[in-house]
Amino acid sequence: MGVLEDLRKVTAAGGTLTFYRDNEPVDGIKDATDVDIGGTKHPLDATTNFYNDDAPQSLRAVVFCWLHNDASIVDYKNACAELGIPDFKFLVKTELATYLSGKSDACAFIKEDAADTTGKTDQLRDPQLERILANERESVDHNQALRGSKNIDFGYLISDAKKFAKSLKRAKPQSAPTNGKRSKSNLKPPIIIVSPATTALLQLSNVKAFLEDGAFVEPGHRPDTNLIMVSHPSEHLVSAAHKIMVVDNVDLFTKPEYWDRVCAIFTTGQAWQFSKYKYAQPEQLFQHYPGFHLGYSGEPAPAALASWNVREIKVDRGDKRFRDKMIVRDFWSDLEKILIARGYGK
């Protein structure tokens, strides 16, 4: 079991962490070198498999982030700067807190440990394998066979290559294609935004049940977390799109990359929702991002939606819940096409 799983057992159960320096207990993480997690001491500077900006993070950075779970992002970043501890972005911090609190069973920023490759050398020392290897002959492919036995001096090509390289440096650099596709190895989980309005039928409290299980339930109390992870494994999408972040607050979308990952926006038809969005005017917003409205069958949609380029999703009231799965299946079918167009397809 990894140190992050051990840490989650303690934090999810509301346990405490004890810090040490040279085997002596200390108050807080500032002067500590080790932390006791469930009865086992771990060095705080040990590297974990929690990643931020594609770099593995120390246990100190992970624990420090958890200790500031209830702090604002500004206070947290200031505290990190004061102690020289790497800080995490808002979405990274939020998902880590959700995982360590036990509210989520997985974290998109935790990578599996590399497979153990020890023992392979010993396998090659097997006597039978050594006899087989002793009788091996080096194979020759067609390229090697065509070279022949006569050495050919290709030195004249070096000077030509140097001239060509100089001409490339002098040439005006061409801009990269702007087709909206990103390197699949650098893709991060897509984001769905739901409305924070209390009248919205789809909220953080019921979005997981609706999109994962195909079961619509009336919205309840807003959860403590600002982010919900929704799983959607698909053979048509790369693994980065198998978990989708759902948020209802864009105040801390501090970098353009967050908006680059938005694949759907749910609205109630109230324009105030977009006052802090990348595009405040809904007519302009929904030219750049797919819009959806969840409403009840038989009830008229808000009049504003007619000019907003928003798709309507209708659920039934009462005991007609058997249609929920079909409605959600159709939604995922549309969303997968959106994700593929945005570079998340295999």
Task: List the domain range (segments joined by +) for residue 35.
Answer: 3-101
pLDDT in tens, 161-198: 776 676 666 554 444 444 445 566 688 999 999 999 99
The tens digit of pLDDT for each residue in 240-296 reads: 999 999 999 998 787 888 999 999 999 999 999 999 999 999 999 999 999 999 999
Q: What is the pLDDT of residues 14-73, one digit of tens each?
A: 999 999 998 899 999 999 999 999 999 999 999 999 998 889 999 999 999 999 988 888
Report the alpha-carbon distance of residue 21 to residue 35 in Å, rounded.
9
Residue 111 lies in a domain: no
Counted domains in the chain: 2
Residues 337 and 203 in one domain: yes
Question: Of the candidates 69, 84, 101, which is a domain's last residue?
Answer: 101
Q: What whole-number distance in Å separates Cα of residue 3 and Cα of residue 46?
A: 10
Please state the rounded mean pLDDT for residues 136-150: 51
- The answer to whether 6 touches 51, Cβ cutoff 8 Å, is no
pTM of the model as a whole? 0.54
Write out pLDDT tens, residues 68-100. Answer: 988 888 888 999 999 999 999 888 888 898 889
Domain boundary among 101, 132, 159: 101
Q: With 0-12 CB in 10 A as exposed, 13-18 as middle and 19+ as buried, what is 136?
A: exposed
**Contact assessment for residue 80 and residue 64, using Cβ atoms and an 8 Å cutoff:** yes
The answer on 317 and 201 residing in a single domain is yes
Q: Is residue 130 in a domain?
A: no
Of 70, 101, 132, which residue is a domain's last? 101
Whether 145 maps to a domain, the answer reads: no
Q: Are residues 86 and 218 in the same domain?
A: no
Same-domain check for residues 211 and 325: yes
How many residues does the structure list for the chain?
346
Digit-coded pLDDT (tens) for 195-219: 999 999 999 999 999 999 999 999 9
